[in-house]
Amino acid sequence: MNKVYSIASQKGGVGKSSTVLNLGTALSLMGKKVLCVDLDPQGSLTICAGVKKPDKLTHSTYTLLNAVLDKETLPESGEYIVPCEKIDVIPCNIRLAAFETNRGHEMGVQKTLQKALAPLREQYEIILIDTGPSLGVLTANAITASDSVIIPVTPQLLSAVGLKLLINTVETVKEHFNPNVVIEGILMTMCDTRTNLYKKITKIMEQMTVSLSFRIFNTIIPHSTNVGEANLRCQSVLTFDGQCKPSQAYMEFAKELMSYA
């Protein structure tokens, strides 16, 4: 079995990049071979995974996408994949923003990442794609390249409100570019389960998902400063403190996700 997941939400700060890094690490601790792809020009995943000097990268998702779109011969995968602790990463930097502006209107551009990842699907059991806070051409590429989409939601109203737009985007990609893609589920992140806000938002999400064909995952990622501490150290939270609550939650989530695969 090998599978490609996008972690997507047009809302920033909901835990997409943290989830890619920590879920990726948890899956690798389960013995899976994991590749994480940074498709957000802000490059948070690249930085948090510990890639040094992103601005100086010779190869990145930007150069890879351009090479595929220009039908050039791709470099050896070892040249653009960076080993980081327990996972491998295709990093990026701010230049990736230019892909959207300069090449976003070209014919078939939505399938560029899918083509780039096709040979790598043989080498990795799990590929996780980190996306930016927009529903533009880069996120369309991520969803087109994926089997499944995971949507992180925080217990804040604005985080839940944009959901319909994202669901529509997945439907559009399904119709035009990738008939097999599904929404795997909603992952509640940064939760303090004792608060009223958490209870209210969970209720809203449950009501929303009743009419839809995807789940809210059983695993809930708690709010914990350890995640930010680990990010600061360019580590996954599991490396920073394997026993803390968010580390255990990401391990639980990795197991839950694999139980649906």
> Which of these ranges, 44-52, 73-81, 178-186, 242-250, lies near Mg ion under the rule CB under 5 A?
44-52
* Closer to ligand ADP by Cβ: residue 47 or 67: 47
Q: Taking CB under 5 A as the rule, does residue 131 contact Mg ion?
A: no
Judged by CB under 6 A, the stretch of 7-15, 58-66, 106-114, 179-187 that binds ligand ADP is 7-15
Contact between 128 and ligand ADP per CB under 6 A: no
Bridge partner residues of 44 (DSSP):
none
Cβ neighbors of 15 (< 8 A, separation 6 or more) are 152, 154, 187, 189, 190, 221, 227
Closest by CA to 67, choosing from 94, 49, 139, 76, is 76
Instruction: Say if CB 104 and CB 137 are below 8 A apart.
Output: yes
134 near ligand ADP, rule: CB under 6 A: no
The region of 17-25, 99-107, 147-155, 215-223 touching Mg ion under the rule CB under 5 A is 17-25
Per the structure block, which two tokens stand in for 250?
């990401």
Interface with ligand ADP (CB under 6 A), residue from 13, 50, 54, 162:
13
Return the structure tokens found at 165: 């737009």
Does residue number 17 form part of the binding site for ligand ADP (CB under 6 A)?
Answer: yes
Q: Considering only CA atoms, which of 67, 4, 75 is closest in space to residue 37?
A: 4
How far out from the chain centre does Cα 73 lie? Answer: 27
Q: Which of 4, 7, 15, 17 binds Mg ion (CB under 5 A)?
A: 17
Q: Mark residues 29-58: x for contact with ligand ADP by CB under 6 A, - for none.
A: ---------------x--------------
Using only C-alpha atoms, the chain has a radius of gyration, in whole angstroms, of 17
Binding test (CB under 6 A) with ligand ADP, winner from 99, 240, 246, 254: 246
Q: At what angle do helices 16-29 and 225-232 cross, to 10 degrees?
A: 80
> Regarding beta strands 87-90 and 82-84, do their DSSP bridges make them parallel or antiparallel, or are they unpaired?
antiparallel
Residue 131's binding partner among Mg ion, ligand ADP, none (Cβ under 5 to 8 angstroms by kind) is: none
Indicate the residue among 66 and 189 with the shorter CB distance to ligand ADP: 189
What would the two tokens of residue 2 be? 């090998």
| Residue 223 engages ligand ADP in binding (rule: CB under 6 A) | yes
Kindly list the residues in this chain that would bind ligand ADP in the complex (CB under 6 A).
Answer: 12-18, 44, 189-190, 221, 223-224, 227-228, 231, 246
